[in-house]
């Protein structure tokens, strides 16, 4: 065979092999690029999803909170008038947390001293709203801020008085419901019980024909008088028996004035007051005192917070006037 055609055939076969190899390399490169793109897209998705999962503040119990952060929360709560509520996010609790970390933090101490009267007013409003559980929580929180403040005694007394009034009201409602049920049962029994016919049976003719005048004359005419006689409820003795005096149920001890305690002064105060029908005290006034104008305010403040079981008159609660001597001894 001539050399030229053989050389051309060899070159043509080599050219085909090179084309095939180039095609294989191209396919392999495309597969590699596709795999790399798939891995990159997965990594991109992971990076896109991660910030969504981490969005927002994460509060962990083991991560320490700085004093500056606590003071910032406390000032924010004060600006929004959240002095005692809600629980866990109010100014008093934030400042107490500051003092737990730094007991000598002057900013927290001054802030608690400044907002205590306003917080006490808020607690008193909660008591007036009838929310006893929330009021108790707020009083306990105030006692942590200033345990020796006398305002706490007043708040506790008001809360106790409200609880007692609510308990008395519930007891009266239960008694009224029980009385109404008894009356209803008695009425139902009187309606369902058949009346017995007494004078339905006619008398025999022989008895009617006989003269019955002597028998009627022997029966006493005024036999029905004891039934119609009124009971002696209007007599003074009966009224005295029906009236009962009020009974002291809760006594608040008066505070000892600081000046008198410092000078070791002692004394007493005679107080006149009225126990109302609901057991509360009103119109308290000083009759006499020794020494004068030293213990008067403390005695009146204590008596006005006393609670009584009201006196009864003719089966109903009634107001009564009492006198009491309050002793002040060291």
What is the rounded CA–CA span in Å between residue 41 and residue 36? 9
Percent share of the chain, pLDDT over 90: 56
Q: Which of 140, 163, 186 is the last residue of a domain?
A: 163
| pLDDT beyond 90 at 280 | yes
Q: Which of 130, 163, 196 is the last residue of a domain?
A: 163
Is residue 17 in a domain? no
Domain count, the chain: 2
Any bridge partners for residue 288, and if so which? 270
Q: What is the DSSP string of 48-77?
A: HHHHHHT-S----TTS---HHHHHHHHHHH
| pLDDT beyond 80 at 230 | no
Place of tokens 């022989």: 206
What is the rounded CA–CA span in Å between residue 207 and residue 202? 10
Are the CB atoms for 126 and 87 separated by under 8 Å? no
pLDDT in tens, 168-210: 888 999 999 999 999 988 888 876 655 554 444 444 444 344 4
Is residue 174 in a domain? no
What is the rounded CA–CA span in Å between residue 153 and residue 136? 12
Residue 149 DSSP class: -
Q: Which of 163, 187, 215 is the last residue of a domain?
A: 163
Is residue 171 in a domain? no
| pLDDT beyond 50 at 267 | yes
**Residue 52 pLDDT level (bands cut at 50, 70, 90):** very low
pLDDT for the residue 209: 40
Are the CB atoms for 111 and 93 separated by under 8 Å? no
Is residue 296 in a domain? yes
What is the rounded CA–CA span in Å between residue 238 and residue 232? 8
pLDDT for the residue 80: 94
**What is the phi/psi pair of residue 285, to 5°?**
-150, 155
Any bridge partners for residue 282, and if so which? 274
Least confident of 32-41, 138-147, 297-306: 32-41
**What is the phi/psi pair of residue 306, to 5°?**
-70, 155
Q: What share of the chain is helix, strand, coil (3-state, %, to 5)?
A: 60, 15, 30
What is the rounded CA–CA span in Å between residue 78 and residue 108? 12
pLDDT in tens, 290-322: 999 999 999 999 999 999 999 999 989 999 999
Tokens of 155: 């708040």
- pTM equals 0.39
Is residue 19 in a domain? no
Is residue 130 in a domain? yes
pLDDT for the residue 15: 78
CATH number at 277 reads: 3.30.2420.10
**Residue 234 pLDDT level (bands cut at 50, 70, 90):** very low
What is the rounded CA–CA span in Å between residue 186 and residue 178? 12
Tokens of 1: 């065979």
Within its chain, how far is the Cα of 274 from the centroid?
A: 29
Is residue 126 in a domain? yes
133 vs 14: which has the higher pLDDT:
133
Residues of the domain holding 138: 67-163
Angle of the 132-145 helix axis to the 106-128 helix axis, nearest 10: 160
What is the rounded CA–CA span in Å between residue 251 and residue 327? 14
């Amino acid at each position: 065979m001539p050399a030229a055609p053989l050389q051309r055939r060899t070159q043509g076969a080599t050219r085909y092999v090179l084309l095939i190899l180039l095609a294989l390399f191209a396919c392999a490169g495309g597969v590699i690029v596709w795999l790399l793109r798939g891995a990159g897209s997965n990594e991109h998705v992971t990076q896109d999803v991660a910030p969504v999962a981490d969005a927002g503040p994460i509060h962990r119990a083991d991560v320490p909170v700085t004093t500056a952060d606590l003071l910032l929360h406390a000032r924010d709560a004060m600006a929004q008038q959240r002095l005692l509520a809600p629980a866990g996010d109010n100014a008093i609790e934030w400042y107490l947390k500051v003092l737990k970390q730094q007991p000598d933090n002057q900013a927290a101490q001054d802030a608690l001293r400044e907002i205590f009267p306003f917080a006490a007013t808020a607690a008193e409003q909660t008591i007036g709203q009838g929310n006893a559980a929330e009021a108790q929580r707020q009083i306990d929180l105030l006692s942590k801020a200033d345990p020796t403040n006398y305002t706490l005694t007043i708040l506790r007394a008001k809360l106790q008085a409200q609880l007692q009034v609510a308990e008395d009201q519930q007891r009266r409602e239960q008694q009224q419901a029980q009385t109404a049920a008894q009356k209803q049962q008695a009425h139902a029994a009187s309606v369902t019980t058949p009346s017995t016919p007494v004078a339905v049976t006619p008398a025999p003719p022989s008895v009617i024909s006989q003269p019955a005048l002597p028998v009627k004359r022997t029966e006493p005419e005024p036999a029905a008088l004891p039934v119609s006689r009124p009971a002696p409820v209007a007599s003074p003795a009966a009224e005295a028996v029906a009236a009962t005096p009020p009974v002291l149920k809760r006594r608040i001890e008066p505070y000892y004035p600081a000046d008198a305690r410092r000078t070791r002064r002692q004394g007493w105060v005679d107080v006149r007051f009225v126990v109302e029908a609901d057991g509360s005290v009103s119109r308290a006034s000083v009759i006499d005192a020794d020494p004068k104008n030293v213990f008067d305010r403390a005695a009146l403040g204590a008596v006005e917070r006393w609670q009584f079981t009201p006196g009864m008159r003719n089966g109903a609660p009634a107001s009564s006037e009492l006198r009491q001597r309050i002793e002040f001894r060291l």
